[in-house]
Every structure is written in structure tokens, then in C-alpha cells.
A and B are shown apart, each in its own frame.
Chain A
Amino acid sequence: MEQVKTLLEDHEIPKQWYNVMADLPTPMKPPLHPGTGQPVGPDDLAAIFPMNIIEQEVSDQRWIDIPDDVLQKYVLWRPSPLYRARNFEKLLGCPVQIYYKNEGVSPAGSHKPNAAIPMAYYNKVAGTKRITTETGAGQWGSALSMACQMFDLVCRVYMVKVSYEQKPYRRMMMNTWGAECIASPSNLTQAGRNVLAEHPDSPGSLGIAISEAIEDAVTSKDTKYALGSVLNHVILYQSIIGLEAQKQMQKLGLYPDVVMGCCGGGSNFAGIATPFVCDKIHGKEVKVVGAEPTSCPSMTKGPFAYDFGDLAKSTPLLPMYTLGHDYIPAPIHAGGLRYHGMAPIVSHLVREKLIEPRAYDQLKTFDAGVKWARSEGFIPAPETNHVLAAVVDEALRAKEEGKEKIILFNWSGHGLVDLAAYDAYFAGKLEAYELPDHEIDRALAAIKDFPKP
């Protein structure tokens, strides 16, 4: 029998998170306020986050102790197993060893609880009694619901109404964990009431749900808001994935040639990547690859610049990979690809050439996901399929180059609550799409005079 899993004992779990901010070759540029041009300060965020989390958001301390109370919750499923994907290796027939962290073993089925648990903990310590958030199909909302229950906090999740109605399982998960899951728009907030007054049958949107969650937090006593992606403290908490992986690879006497993750808001990718980026900064030879959809080329094709959030230039300037505020590639409407912000830390690492971004269309990602399910058994979340496409790509490159490679990646979650996506794929309803280079060039010309961080 061949060894598949590499496990760590509970007591071997890392006791500190790693903060890549401390090791950046050049410091991050902070978000700027468009009115003053000054960095956004802690007070700007104090209405929705407790100060202990804000301090971590702006911290450049390399190692941050994980509180014992958080560790005690983490060990319910952490350290997560490191698997060797022997069946997938055989299927591909390439000279690669493929290892992956299985984050689908968490109670919520994804990497999201890695951040939800410390958020709930730090809020509890700060005196917060109640947390609000928004959720689309419910992955983040369910993770936070579980975390709040663990720390005896009241949790209200504003879930986009159309998903609330058509995707009940994560709503049921939230209820099971004791959270209140509200279909958004609701009549509980002014933002919701305004929408309902104009569109009584509104199916909701993520924008409306965020508005409701923020308003609820700002206007309610002892209430704060939690966000599950993009921000620095989320990246920090997720570093537990890569830190465990380092220990597990060490147990095997191996070190990866390539480390990979999929990029949505950047949290699961940064989680596995940042400890290895630290190694790379300090001289280790390792390639770190982030996989994103071709329809959202936020890392692969955009330059790094300060970008205004709107045409009126009234919102803060954030340094990130961007296609520009007036990006209107005909015939694609600007908004279609303007939802492009990657976590600023990830954008920065790309700019520093510490991370290599790659983009894959959704047909290729689902093809890889189905191959995975039919060889390794676990059905991946649709987002996880992006990194699987990248793994296939890297394996084929190794074959072409005639090189043996060790690939490590983050299997960020299972797809058991997302099977409708596979149904759509099998029904031939999903399309491949890649933005043409000449359209990208045209869009980028619009921001050529923007300040470069």
C-alpha cells in the first residue's frame, strides 16, 4: 500500500500566524482617501471592526500568536491532512508528485472557518455581542455562523434572496449553527426598505446584502461586521494552511517546486502561498502560482496602479492590479470586468514577481474538476476547479520540459452544496471566454497616467 495522507498531531499545529507584510521587499502602499489623498486610518474602519482586528489589519509584525481559544477550535479539524493525489498523478501520466491540503474537511466544508473563528474570537474579546455579515450562496455566512456559535455571539447573515430561496442547504447550516439568516433585501434596514419600496419583488444582490449588513452593524449596539476575503487580517489568519503544509512536507523530507492556489478574493491562495513566499524572499527556489478565471483578469493582464473606484473619482485609491476605472472594452460593458479587485497583498506580491498569475476559462476548470472527482473521489467546489486546471497545466509543462516536479496546492473546499454548477457544465451551458489582448491594451491606455505605487 502506498502512503497517501501526511498528518500532524493536534499539538503540532502552528502556534503563530505568518504575516507576509513583514517580509515584503518593498512596503505595501495603503489605501488612500480620495478627498485628502491620505492613507485610510483605523478610525475610518472602527465603526465596523473592533480595534484588535484593525491593529492586525495594519500590522507589520512577522509572527502573531494564535490565541489558545482559537487553537482549541482549530483542532476540531486542523491540522488538515496533506494528501498525495496518486490517482490524479496516474491519470495525468506526467513526471510530477502532486500534494494538496484538504481544506474541505472543515465543518463548513471550506477554508473559510480559518478566518471566521479568529474574527469571532477577537470580537468576543473586544466586547462585541453581535456580528453581521452578507453572503451570496452561503459559504462565508455558514462559516461565520459556526464561529459565532463557538464564541457565544449572536450572528445575523444577510443572504441574497434569490440564493436564500433556491439554495437552502447553507441557509439550513446557518440556522443549525444558531445564526439568523435573513433574505436580503429585508425590511430590517433602511437600505433594504428603500429597495423594497421601489422593487417589492427584488431578488436581491450582493451589493444590497452588504449595505444591509454594514448598516445593521453601524446602527446597532455592540454590533460589528465581518468580511471573509480581501483584507489583510483575513490573509493573515489563512496562513495557517501554508504553515501546516510546510511542516507536513518537511515530515516527508520534501520541498515543493511549485505552490498553487485559486484566487477569488485571494484568501485561500494567500493562505497556502504566503509562508512559501517568505521562503522565496529569503532565497528558496519555489514557484508560486495563483489561478484565476479568464473572465476576471485582475492579476494576469492588468498593471499595478492606483485606481479610482468610479468615474467620478470620489472613492479611495487602492493600489492593486487593475484594468482601470474607465475600462469599457467593446462590446463588453465596463462593469462586466470591472469587478476586478484582488486582495491588495496578492496584487503586491504579483508586482514584486513573487507570484505568477495564470488564468483559465471555466470549461477547462470544470474539465479538471470532473477529472479530479473521477480519480480522487472528492468533488471540488467550482472555485477550487481553477487551481486544478493550473495543476493539470503545470503537470503537462513538466512533461514537455522532461522535468520531475513536486506540486503542492490548496484544495480549498468541497462542492457538495454546489452541484448545480456541475449540472450546468454537463448540460453544456457554460462557455469559455478570454478577453482579447487588444481590448486589454485599449483599457490599459486609459490608466497610463495614473500614479504607480
Chain B
Amino acid sequence: MNTPHDSKITRCPKLGDEMTFAYCLVEAGDLPCARIIACWRKAFDVTTLLQSILTSQQWDRFDQVQPKDKMESLLELIEKAKGQT
């Protein structure tokens, strides 16, 4: 997913670090970071850009991503990890 904005930099509130737009595009594997529009919308029309570079299936999956709160995530991950033992 090469875009003209890939090398632009912003501060990532999740990592506490400066990240390129290229990172935000792949933060969730084959999907962009769930925060990408909130973080970049003032810089350029990121929504239109995403709609143009994501497949309709990717867009639908991206549109349904719901980040979880910390305690919820912990409990889910504990249960998942127990399955590894």
C-alpha cells in the first residue's frame, strides 16, 4: 500500500513514539490501525485514501474493528493463552 503520505510522521498515542503513515497503514497486519483516521484526518483526506487503497472486504473489516479496553483485553488474552498450555 504505497501512498504519497507514507513518509509523513505523527506521534502515536498507543506507542508513545513517532510513527510514519506507512506504519499506521499496516499496524493491524493487513489492516490499518484503528486510530488511523482520528490521527491523520486533519493532515489530509485519509478516509478517501483508505477507501481507494483497501479492497471492499478490507474496508468492511476495518470499519468493524473495535479496540478493547485494558481489563477486557487482559481477560481475553488470559483465556486464549490458557489454550496454549
Contact = CB atoms under 8 A, between A and B. Distances in A.
Contact of B81 (A218, A230, A338): A218
Given A47-B82, A339-B14, A203 B66 contact: no
B74 A48 contact: yes
Given A191-B80, A207-B28, 17 more contacts: A136-B15, A136-B16, A162-B19, A203-B23, A211-B80, A214-B77, A218-B78, A219-B85, A295-B39, A309-B66, A316-B75, A318-B71, A331-B41, A332-B41, A336-B35, A338-B34, A423-B18
Contacts of B74: 45, 48, 210, 214, 227
A44 interface: yes
Interface string A381-393: 0110000000000
> Which 6 pairs from chain A and chain B are nearest by CB?
A335-B34, A336-B38, A136-B15, A431-B42, A341-B69, A218-B81
B15 A160 contact: yes
Interface in B9-31: 9-19, 23, 26-30
Contact of A333 (B9, B10, B18, B62): B62
A425 B62 CA distance: 29
Contacts of A338: 34, 66-67
Contacts of A418: 16
Interface string A199-242: 10011011100110011011100000001011100000000000
Contact of A199 (B19, B30, B76): B30
B47 interface: yes
A307 to B, nearest CB: 8
Interface residues of B, number: 51
A229 B16 contact: no
Contact of B29 (A139, A162, A202, A341): A202
Interface in A390-434: 418, 420-421, 423-424, 429-433
Contacts of B19: 162
Nearest to B73: A210
B41 A315 contact: no
B11 A210 contact: no
B29 A198 contact: yes
A176 interface: no
Interface string B41-68: 1110001000000000000001111111
B41 A433 contact: yes
Nearest to B65: A335
A291 to B, nearest CB: 14
Contact of A167 (B8, B11, B17, B42): B17
A157 interface: no
B68 A310 contact: yes
Given A136-B17, A265-B70, A337-B38, A421 B23 contact: no
A311 interface: yes
Contacts of A382: 11, 16
Contacts of A430: 10-11
Contact of B66 (A265, A295, A334): A334
21 contacts: A45-B74, A137-B16, A215-B84, A218-B84, A229-B70, A231-B70, A311-B64, A315-B72, A316-B72, A320-B69, A325-B66, A331-B41, A331-B47, A333-B63, A335-B34, A337-B35, A338-B67, A344-B71, A382-B16, A424-B10, A433-B41
A42 to B, nearest CB: 13
B36 to A, nearest CB: 7
